[in-house]
Structure 1
Amino acid sequence: MGSFSIWHWLIVLVVVIAIFGTKKLRNVGSDLGAAVKGFKDGMKEGSTTDDPARPPQQVTAARAGDPHTVDVDAKTKS
């Protein structure tokens, strides 16, 4: 009496199809699939391990002669 047999589930399925119709069930299934896909994509986006932005580094005397170093004056915005 604790578990349902396959015949119980088939009767429930026939009743659900009779009440809602196949078109509505198909729409619900596609909406559910789109929601699961969106959730998975969101989880992939959130778990990216990009390098965190490093704070700007100061130019030391050792790097002052480096040709790739740009010397600029910082101005305040007025």
Structure 2
Amino acid sequence: MGGASIWHWIVVGLIVVLLFGRGKISDLMGDVAKGIKAFKKGMSEDDTAKPVQPSEPVRTIDHQAGTQTNAATTDHKVG
């Protein structure tokens, strides 16, 4: 007892078939398969796409660290 016996699974299967019917279950599985195929197709199209080149060169800003102090990092004694 306490485990899932064969009768448990038979009853669950009958309830599922009665609620959804054979046609609805097969239609649902077909829709899931179409969704998976569309996802795979979309992923393969992303792999073949050309990388986007920037229209102008990337500019960098040279900045020396430690020239400014942040108010949140300074120690204040309250009291």
Taking structure 1 as the reference length, the TM-score comes to 0.51
Tell me which amino acid in the other structure corresponds to 1:46.
D
Aligned length: 54
* Cα offsets for 1:9-42 (capped at 9, x unmatched): 3432221111110001111010010000100111
Partner residue of 1:15? 15
* Cα offsets for 1:20-73 (capped at 9, x unmatched): 1000111101001000010011101111264767x8xxxxxxxxxxxxxxxxxx
Partner residue of 1:45? 45
Work out the CA distance in 1 between the residues paired with 2:22 and 2:12: 14
Q: CA RMSD in A?
A: 2.5
Structure-to-structure mapping, 1:23-62, within 5 angstroms: 23-48=23-48, 50=50
**Which is further off, 15-24 or 4-13?**
4-13
Q: Between the two proteins, what is the percent identity of the paired residues?
A: 34
Structure with bigger RCO (C-alpha 8 Å, 6+ apart): 1
Deviation at 1:8, TM superposition (A): 3.3
